[in-house]
Structure 1
């Protein structure tokens, strides 16, 4: 049975998706952008956006009974090479001991002002 976790953002209903889905021992967290959690505005800095993405993802994982320590796959989408270079050390800080697989893609992100979007697959198994 799949358990769906919602963040309560309008795009979930509009686009018909859940923020996270728990399927057995696997947790799939949707691509998450780095809006400031208080103001709702994207910081100019890709590093801050990445930190906001990871904090929001960790919150979703905690609601599913896990944390970033349970990550097995990390997919990172950035808008340019400068953002990729800025975000890579943040990923290293967070995942240095965890070591999930990682893909970093340069692409267009549909949210105006977003420089980073991160998607995580995690496991509830130890």
Structure 2
């Protein structure tokens, strides 16, 4: 049986809502829905493209802590309150996942904080020797 490892970003949301930024279970890494907050300062920009970029930087940091990387992502889910803004994020998505091309889905739904314009969740498979 594999050991479960929990990874935190230091976000206050994780403690308040009882979740981990990522959970490693064997060769799998499950990264929670991640928003465009800069967790070190707990600030967020109003620009969706900048938020998408920050989402990926936050996800990459969690994956690195898990011994994985964006190159190991096999599935991604995007959640946006305003689906019409999604095409603005495509260049950022290509920047981070253009070579990986994971299975993907976009959902239009409300998010926990009205400042959030995008939330991204990924599943990755670690390269375990």
Normalising by structure 2, we get a TM-score of 0.90
1:104 to 102, 106, 124: 106
RMSD over equivalenced CA pairs, Å: 1.5
Between Structure 1 and Structure 2, how many residues are aligned? 126
Q: Following superposition, which runs of at least 4 residues in structure 1 exceed 6 angstroms of deviation?
A: none
Q: Does 1:82 align with 2:75?
A: no
1:63 to 62, 65, 77: 65
Contact 2:11 2:39 in 1 (8 A): no
Change (3 A) 1:26 1:38: closer
1:43 to 27, 42, 45: 45
Contact 1:37 1:52 in 2 (8 A): no
Return the alpha-carbon distance in structure 2 between the equivalents of residues 61 and 10 of structure 1.
19
- In the alignment, structure 1 segments of 5+ residues that lack a partner are none
Normalising by structure 1, we get a TM-score of 0.92
- In the alignment, structure 2 segments of 5+ residues that lack a partner are none
